[in-house]
Structure 1
C-alpha cells in the first residue's frame, strides 16, 4: 500500500514568496540591486588584486578566489530567484534541480575551504613571520587552492548523488527559493537513513572541520597581545576582525541550516536564512575586506584616480 503513495518525481515546483504576490516586484528590485552589487564588488576586488602589485601576497591571492567563488555561488541561485518572483513560482526538472544543488554545494564547499586557508595564512603571517615566505610560496598557495577545488568537487558529488537517490513523495512543491537540502529532505519518504547519514557526515566534515582550523588559527593569533608595538597589535587585530566577521556570517547561517534537526522547521525562518546566505553574504565579503584593509583602500583610490575622466 505504501508503494502506491510513491512516484518518480520528474520536476520540482518552487513556491516560495508566491503567497505574497504584492511583494513580488519590490523583492525582485531589491534582490536584483543586491545581486548587481555582488557582481560589481567581487569583480572589482578581483580586478584590483590583479592590477595592483601591492595586492599580490598570498592573502590577496586567496581573497581573489573567494571573490570569484562568491560570484559563482550567488549566480547559481539569484537569477532563478528573480525569475521565480516575476513568474510567481518556478518549475525545475529533476536533472536541473540536481545540477543546481551540485553547483551550489560545490561553490559553497570551496568557500568554506578558502576561509579556512585564509585563517591559516594569517596564522603563519602573524605567528611564524620568519618562515612565512618559505611556507606560503606561489607553488604552495596554488596547491592549497587546487586542493580546495578538488575537495569541493568530491564533497558536491557525494552529497548530490546521496540526495538524489532519495525516494520523494508525490507532493513535490518546495516552499523554498532553490533546490537546497532542507526542502528536499522534507519531500523524502521511505527509508532514506543511509543517504541522510552520508549527507550529514559530509556536512560535519566540511563545516566543523573548517571552523576548527579557523578557531585554532585565531586563538593562536591572540598572541598579538604580546606584540610590543601598539600599531602592530591594532593592524593584526583589524585583519583578524575582518576575517572573523566574514567567517561568523557565513558559517553561522550554514550551521543553522545544515546542522540542526529538520523536523518542525519554520519555512519562513528557513527562507530568511537562505536569502541571507545566498544573496546578502556574497555582497558583504568585498565590503568587509576592503573597508578594514588599508592596502585595498589605497589600491582603490589609485585605480579611481587613473580611470577618472579629464
Structure 2
C-alpha cells in the first residue's frame, strides 16, 4: 500500500524496509544465515583485536591500522544487520524517519572511513617495502595517529551535507525496496527534484571511492616493482604474503562499491543492488579477519599463542 509521506507531515513518521523476498520458510533460512554471518563477523573481529592487543610484536603501524579496521567493521555491519534480522523474523520493517537517516549517515560515515583506511594501509605497506630504512621515521606514532584520526574525521564529515539535504526532501512513498536506508532507494521515493543531490552524491562517491582506489593501486604498483627487484626470495615471499591479504580485501570491497555507486552503466534493478550491497556491507566485514589471519603469519602465530594462554595458562609458547 502506497502512503504519501513528507517530513513536514506529522502523520507520516516511518519508512518500511522490504528486505529480501521469500516465503516464511525462506525468511527463516535468511535469518539463520544472516545471524551466523553477523555473529561470525563480531567474533572474528573481536578475536583479531584481542590478538593484536595481546601480542607486543604486533604493536606496529600495520597492525595499528588493522585494529582500526576491525573496530570499523564491527560498527559497519552493526548498522544494517540487526534491522535485517528483525525483518527476516517476519516483523514489519518499520523504521522511523530519524532512525532511517541516522542509519544512512552512519553507513556512509563508516564506509567513507573504510576507503580512507584502506588507502592509509596501502601507503604504510609502500613505505615499509619501498623505503624500509626510513620507515620507522616516516611512520612514527604521531604520523600513525594523525593518519588514523584523519580517516575517521574525514569519513565523519563527508556524509553530513547529503544526508541533511536527503532528510529535508518530500517523499511520495514510504516503501523502501532495500534492507537498509540507502541513498539510492530513498532518492527514488522522493517527489522533490533530486538532480542536484543525486549529482553531488555521485561526485562525492566518485572522488572518494576512485580517488582512494587509485592511490591504493599506485602504492601496489610501486610495491610490485620493488618486490621484483628483491634478491631474497624469502623476503619477497614474506612481503607478498602480507600485501596480498590487504589487496584481496580491497578488491572485493571496491569491486562491489564501484559497481553500486560509481558505475557508468544504467541503474541496475533494486534486487541486484540489494545483493551487491549485502556483499560489501555484510560479507566483506566477515571475510576481513579470516583473510588477514590466514594470509599473515604473524597474526596466525599471535592467535595461536593467545588461544594457548587462554586454554592452557601454564604452558609456555614460543
Same-fold status (TM-score > 0.5): yes
**2:192 pairs with 190, 193, 198, which one?**
190
CA deviation string 1:64-90 (max 9, x = no partner) = 000000000000110110011113430
- The offset of 1:275, in angstroms, is 1.6
Q: Distance in 2 between matches of 1:297 and 1:157?
A: 39
Q: Distance in 2 between matches of 1:33 and 1:108?
A: 22
CA deviation string 1:213-238 (max 9, x = no partner) = 10110000012100001111111111
2:111 aligns to what? Answer: 108
1:54 aligns to what? Answer: 57
1:241 aligns with 2:244: yes
What runs of 5+ residues in structure 1 fail to find an aligned partner?
none
Q: Distance in 1 between matches of 2:196 and 2:98?
A: 22
**1:200 pairs with 194, 199, 202, which one?**
202
1:253 aligns to what? Answer: 256
- The offset of 1:166, in angstroms, is 3.1
Which segment drifts farther, 92-101 or 158-167? 158-167
- The offset of 1:307, in angstroms, is 1.0
* Shift in alpha-carbon separation, 1:264–1:228, aligned structure 2, 3 A: closer
Aligned positions of 1:272-283 closer than 5 A? 272-283=275-286
1:156 aligns to what? Answer: 159
Which segment drifts farther, 200-209 or 213-222? 200-209
**1:270 pairs with 273, 279, 282, which one?**
273
Q: Distance in 2 between matches of 1:299 and 1:309?
A: 15
- The offset of 1:94, in angstroms, is 1.0
- The offset of 1:267, in angstroms, is 2.2
Q: Distance in 1 between matches of 2:98 and 2:195?
A: 23
What runs of 5+ residues in structure 2 fail to find an aligned partner?
8-12, 314-318
**1:210 pairs with 209, 212, 215, which one?**
212
2:177 aligns to what? Answer: 175
Q: Confirm or deny: 8 A CA contact 1:162 1:199 kept in the other structure.
A: no
Q: Partner of 1:87: helix, strand, or coil?
A: coil
CA deviation string 1:126-163 (max 9, x = no partner) = 00111100011111100101101110011121231232
1:99 aligns with 2:97: no
Aligned positions of 1:136-147 closer than 5 A? 136-147=139-150
- The offset of 1:272, in angstroms, is 1.3
Which segment drifts farther, 89-98 or 11-20? 11-20
User: Per residue, is there more helix in 1 or in 2?
Assistant: 1
TM-score by length of 2: 0.92
TM-score by length of 1: 0.94
* Shift in alpha-carbon separation, 1:83–1:261, aligned structure 2, 3 A: farther
- The offset of 1:262, in angstroms, is 8.5
